[in-house]
Structure 1
Amino acid sequence: MFSIKVEGYFSSAHNLRAYYGKCEELHGHNWKVEVVIASKTLDKIGMLMDFKIIKAELNRVLDKLDHKYLNETPYFKKINPTSENIAKFIYDALIPKFKKLKSVTVWENHTCCATYER
C-alpha cells in the first residue's frame, strides 16, 4: 500500500461546550492538519496523486476555518468543536474529491492530536 501525506495549517479560536475545565473558556490554537491518501496502485508516471492538487483542496477547506471563532461557524453551531470533530469535518469535506482519502489528523499543539479515518 502506498500513502502520501500533505500538511496544512490554520488558526482559530473555540471553546468546548459542556466541558468543565480550562478548555470551556474561549481560547485559540495554531492547528496543523495532516491528510493521508492511500492506494495499492500508482498512476502511469509512478505517482499516487499530485501533492499540489491535494494541497489546493485542503487549503480551500481550511479557509473556512482560518481566523474564525469555530463555535459560530455553521457546522459547529450544534456540534462541539473538539479536535475529533474538526478532523471529521475536514475529512467529510475532502472525501468527495479524494475517494482514496485514508485519514485526517488535526494537531491542536505539538503533543495532542485527533484522527478521523475510514
Structure 2
Amino acid sequence: MFKVRVIDHFSSAHNLRGYEGNCERLHGHNWKVEVELMGDKLDHIGMLVDFKVLKKSLKKIIDELDHTYLNEHPYFKDVNPTSENMAKYIFLRLKEDFGTLVHKVAVWESHNAVAEYFE
C-alpha cells in the first residue's frame, strides 16, 4: 500500500451548541488539517496522486472555511461544528474528488488536541 499526506492550515471561529463550558461561547482556532490518501496502485509515472492536485482540492475546501464563523456555513447550520464533524466534512468533500483513496482526515484545534475521521 502507498500513502500520501498533505497538511494545510486555516483560522476560523465557532461555538459548540449544547456544550456546557467555555467552548459554548464564541471562540476561534488556528486549525491544522492533515489529509491522508492511500491505495495500492500508482499511476503511469509512479504517483498515487499528484501532490499539486491534492493540495489544490484541499485548498478549495480550506478557502471556504478560512476566516469564517463556522456555525453559519451551510453544512454546520444543523451539524455542531466540532473538530470531529469538521474532519468528517473535509473527508466527504475530498471523497468527491478522490473517491476511496481518501483514507483519513485529521483536524487539530490546538497543538495537543486532534480529531480524526476515516471510513
TM-score range, shorter chain: over 0.9
> What does residue 81 of structure 1 align with?
81
Instruction: Say whether 1:107 aligns with 2:97.
Output: no
Does the residue aligned with 2:96 lie in a helix, a strand or coil? coil
Report the RMSD for the aligned CA atoms in angstroms.
0.7
More helix by share: 2
Q: Which structure 1 segments of 5+ residues have no match?
A: none
> What does residue 57 of structure 1 align with?
57
Q: Which structure 2 segments of 5+ residues have no match?
A: none
> What does residue 94 of structure 2 align with?
94
| Correspondences of 1:3-22 after superposition (within 5 Å) | 3-22=3-22
Moved over 2 A (4+): none
Question: Structure 1 vs Structure 2: percent identity of aligned residues?
Answer: 56
> What does residue 31 of structure 1 align with?
31
Does the residue aligned with 1:95 lie in a helix, a strand or coil? helix
Residue 44 of structure 1: CA displacement? 2.1
Q: Which amino acid in the other structure matches residue 81 of structure 1?
A: P
CA distance in 1, matches of 2:74, 2:33: 20
Q: Which amino acid in the other structure matches residue 15 of structure 2?
A: N
Deviations 1:81-103 (A, max 9, x none): 00000001111111010021111
